[in-house]
């Protein structure tokens, strides 16, 4: 039995220079682009202590993604790949995930770098990037092998 639908609310907005999906890098790690996260004031208290982290994981809604196919031609390949083996933006739940570099926090505003999202992207959550939790030295990368 499927679980019931649930609601998610944006906790902020991501501002950055990209307005055209073709302009944005395929991953922020490949660009130094800077941006700004505006966390809505009612969530500002939750930003206490983020300053000590050099990188943050941000989760957001690909608000300009359209449609969804379970086989897609990803940015780095010509062969159709299973959607869930890619980071393709158009998904059943169009949730994106980026590791960004935190440059500065002033109140509810975070200055960030290594951005790969479009201007106005709704922010769903922020978590600290912790190598001891998030890094896997033994990770293998399937069809991406030899492409990065
Ligand atoms: C391949 S995705 C990777 C995003 C993220 N780092 C991830 O792994 O989930 C990056 C591309 O998504 C597209 N994109 C970024 N923000 C978007 C948005 N709000 N709506 C639709 N497409 C978006 C851009 O074309 C960008 O080049």
In CATH terms, the superfamily for domain 12-125 is YaeB-like (2.40.30.70)
pTM of the predicted model, to two decimals? 0.96
Strand partners, 123: 12, 60
What is the spatial distance between Cα 121 and Cα 136, in angstroms, rounded to a whole number?
29
Full pLDDT tens readout for the chain, 148 residues:
788 888 999 999 999 999 999 999 999 998 889 999 999 999 999 999 999 999 999 999 999 999 999 999 998 888 999 999 999 999 999 999 999 999 999 999 999 999 999 999 999 999 999 999 999 999 999 999 999 8
Query: With contact defined as beta carbons under 8 Å apart, do 96 and 42 qualify?
Result: no
Residue 47, both tokens: 């930003």
Strand partners, 60: 96, 123
Residue 7, both tokens: 């609601």
Nearest atom (ligand 1) to Cα of 88: 1
Q: From the CB of residue 72, how many other CB atoms can be counted at a distance below 10 Å?
A: 19
Q: How far is the CA of 75 from the centre of ligand 1 (A)?
A: 11
């Amino acid at each position: 039995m499927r679980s019931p639908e649930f609601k998610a609310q944006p906790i902020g907005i991501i501002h950055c220079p990209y307005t055209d999906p073709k302009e944005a890098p395929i991953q922020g790690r490949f660009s130094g682009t800077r941006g700004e996260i505006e966390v809505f004031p009612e969530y500002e208290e939750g930003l206490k202590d983020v300053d000590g982290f050099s990188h943050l994981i941000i989760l957001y809604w690909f608000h300009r993604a359209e449609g969804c196919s379970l086989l897609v031609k990803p940015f780095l390949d010509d062969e159709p790949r299973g959607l869930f083996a890619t980071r393709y933006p158009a998904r059943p739940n169009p949730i994106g995930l980026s590791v960004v570099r935190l440059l500065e926090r002033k109140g509810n505003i975070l200055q960030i770098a290594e951005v790969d999202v479009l201007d106005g992207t709704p922010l769903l959550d922020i978590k600290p990037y912790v190598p001891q939790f998030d890094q896997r030295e033994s990770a293998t990368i399937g069809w991406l092998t030899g492409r990065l």
